[in-house]
Structure 1
Amino acid sequence: MIVETATLGSRAVGEALDLPELDGDRSLRMLLRTLVEQGLVAYEAHRSRSALLHILTPADLVEGASTGRYGREPRELPAPPTFDTAYIRAVEAFNDELFFAFLDDVRITDLDDIVTIEPRSRLRLVRLVALTG
């Protein structure tokens, strides 16, 4: 299964993840558990990389000359939430319709409906953004 993330109204699309271990019959609730686990691992890896001092390469200097931005200071990112907290937030966000889930272009509206995931299935999670004005 391929998992894609997107934000409505944004051109940026998140990195697609290929997760063959999720194939078979599952509920969205079960899928969210796995996705939250992986998200926490990825965040912790990003957090560790952000704390490192980066050495500028010649390519970085060339890019900096064209953009006016040379590297960045290491910064402290907040600790990730616990798995239980992150999972509860993901379920609440789905229930509050802050994101929609589509499996092979069919919207999943119930966390507990069992869906069949094929090896080339696409799960698309689309985050909704409140408009102001």
Structure 2
Amino acid sequence: MIVETALLGSRAVGEELTISAVEGPSSLRALLRILVQHELTAYAAHRSRSAMMRILTPAELVEGVETGRYGREARALPAPPNLDAAHARAVEAFTDELFFVFLDEVRITDLDDTLTIEPHTRLRLVRLVALTG
């Protein structure tokens, strides 16, 4: 299954992700759990990379001489929520229509409808943005 993310009003398609572990009948609720797990894993990897000691390149050393700042200061990244809490937030966001889901160009409106997933199936998540003014 290919997962795409998009922001309404933006021409650019966001991240494209291929998930091979999902095939056969499933529900959007189950798919959201898999996607949330993927995002939590990616966040944990990013968090551990940012905690590592980084070696400065020659260009960064030159920039440091010019600016008086060397490298990036480590910042504390918050711990990720647990899977159940993050999944509940994703389900709530879908229920509140903060994003739409399309499976092969057909909008999915029910979290528990049975969906048929094949290797070439395309799932698109479109995040909506509130307009002001």
Would you say same fold, with TM above 0.5?
A: yes
TM-score by length of 2: 0.85
In structure 1, the gaps of 5 or more residues are none
1:80-124: CA deviations, max 9, x gaps? Answer: 111111011000000000010011111101001111112111101
Q: 1:83 aligned to 2:83?
A: yes
The structure-2 alpha-carbon separation of the partners of 1:76 and 1:2, relative to structure 1 and needing over 3 Å to count, comes to same
In structure 2, the gaps of 5 or more residues are none
Report if the CA contact (8 A) 1:53-1:74 is conserved: no
Q: Which SS does the other structure have where 2:93 is aligned? A: helix
Report if the CA contact (8 A) 1:53-1:73 is conserved: no
CA drift at 1:73: 2.2
Aligned residue in 2 for 1:45: 45
Aligned CA-pair RMSD: 2.4
CA drift at 1:50: 1.6
1:15-71: CA deviations, max 9, x gaps? Answer: 21111211111110110111111111111111111222322335x55xx7xxx9x85
Aligned residue in 2 for 1:103: 103
Q: Which SS does the other structure have where 2:115 is aligned? A: strand
CA drift at 1:72: 2.6
TM-score by length of 1: 0.85
Report if the CA contact (8 A) 1:52-1:74 is conserved: no
Task: Give the greater-gyration-radius structure (CA).
Answer: 2
Q: Could you tell me how far apart the structure 1 residues matched to 2:45 and 2:25 are?
A: 30
Q: 1:74 aligned to 2:51?
A: no
The structure-2 alpha-carbon separation of the partners of 1:21 and 1:9, relative to structure 1 and needing over 3 Å to count, comes to same
Identity score, percent? 70
Q: Could you tell me how far apart the structure 1 residues matched to 2:55 and 2:5 are?
A: 31
Q: Which SS does the other structure have where 1:21 is aligned? A: coil
Aligned residue in 2 for 1:17: 17
| Counterpart residue type for residue 110 of structure 1 | D
| Counterpart residue type for residue 20 of structure 1 | S
